[in-house]
Chains A and B, each alone.
Chain A
Amino acid sequence: NAGVTQTPKFQVLKTGQSMTLQCAQDMNHNSMYWYRQDPGMGLRLIYYSASEGTTDKGEVPNGYNVSRLNKREFSLRLESAAPSQTSVYFCASRGLQGASGNTIYFGEGSWLTVV
């Protein structure tokens, strides 16, 4: 039972490099999210997608782009990485109704360091 899968789990980038964090869920969920977690800042929403083909900005979208490739996959791209983007990134998903509609399920996190 995979749930939400993120890749890679660890990545070191040089300033200015680009990379994409991949996320896939196998629960047939409609909504997907990208959060970043920094010490003392909690979880901050970067982007989210209510359904395939739609994306919306969250609290801290600057410096990121996203793609909702299909219902399963939601990727996060850093076009020109900056040290301020060093963080732990979490992908999450949520179903449409019932218990799964009221709960978000998280991936295990991706540790990104920009030097």
Chain B
Amino acid sequence: AQTVTQSQPEMSVQEAETVTLSCTYDTSESDYYLFWYKQPPSRQMILVIRQEAYKQQNATENRFSVNFQKAAKSFSLKISDSQLGDAAMYFCAYRRYGDDKIIFGKGTRLHILP
């Protein structure tokens, strides 16, 4: 069974600095999708970034980028120029290509220090 592991329950970063959140996953599949979701205190789930496993190029969305290492089954999220609004719970998620099931990690709570 596929699993998603986020080994950092909480992290803190100074405003304007860069922070990297870790995610590893376990799968025997070669085609799949990976996601990072943000959940602010409002509890709304917001898609931050997604990556297709067949793409070698790392996805980027403004200040958010990923480091996708397929062989290592690692999918980390880098937040540059951290802002107070980035404070939230961040979830890593996995979906196998052709499957409907989407599995989430336990989340990393990110604190931004002013």
On chain A, which size bracket covers the interface?
20 to 34
From known contacts A90-B45, A106-B44, infer whether A35 and B104 are also in contact, taking CB-CB under 8 Å: yes
Q: Does A31 contact B (CB under 8 A)?
A: yes
- Is there contact, CB below 8 Å, between B107 and A102? no
Residues of chain A lying within 8 A (CB to CB) of residue B104 = 35, 42-45
Residue of B nearest to A88 (CB): B43
State A92–B45 Cα separation when bound (angstroms). 10
A102 partner, pick from B6, B33, B43, B100, beta carbons under 8 A: B33
- Is there contact, CB below 8 Å, between B50 and A103? yes
Q: Does B103 contact A (CB under 8 A)?
A: yes
Q: Does A94 contact B (CB under 8 A)?
A: yes
Distance (whole angstroms) from the CB of B60 to the closest CB of chain A: 16
- Is there contact, CB below 8 Å, between A31 and B100? yes
A-B contact count (CB 8 A): 48
Scoring B residues 19 to 41 as 1 if CB is less than 8 Å from chain A, else 0, what string do you get? 00000000000000101000000
Residue of A nearest to B33 (CB): A102
Scoring B residues 81 to 114 as 1 if CB is less than 8 Å from chain A, else 0, what string do you get? 0000000000101000000111111110000000
- Is there contact, CB below 8 Å, between A103 and B47? yes
- Is there contact, CB below 8 Å, between B43 and A109? yes
The 29 sampled A-B contact pairs (Cβ below 8 Å) are A31-B100, A33-B102, A35-B104, A40-B106, A41-B106, A42-B6, A42-B104, A42-B105, A42-B106, A43-B104, A43-B107, A44-B104, A45-B101, A45-B103, A45-B104, A48-B101, A48-B102, A50-B100, A56-B101, A90-B45, A92-B102, A94-B100, A102-B33, A102-B50, A102-B52, A103-B47, A103-B50, A106-B44, A106-B45
Contact residues of A with B, CB < 8 Å? 31, 33, 35, 40-45, 48, 50, 56, 58-59, 88, 90, 92, 94, 102-104, 106, 108-109
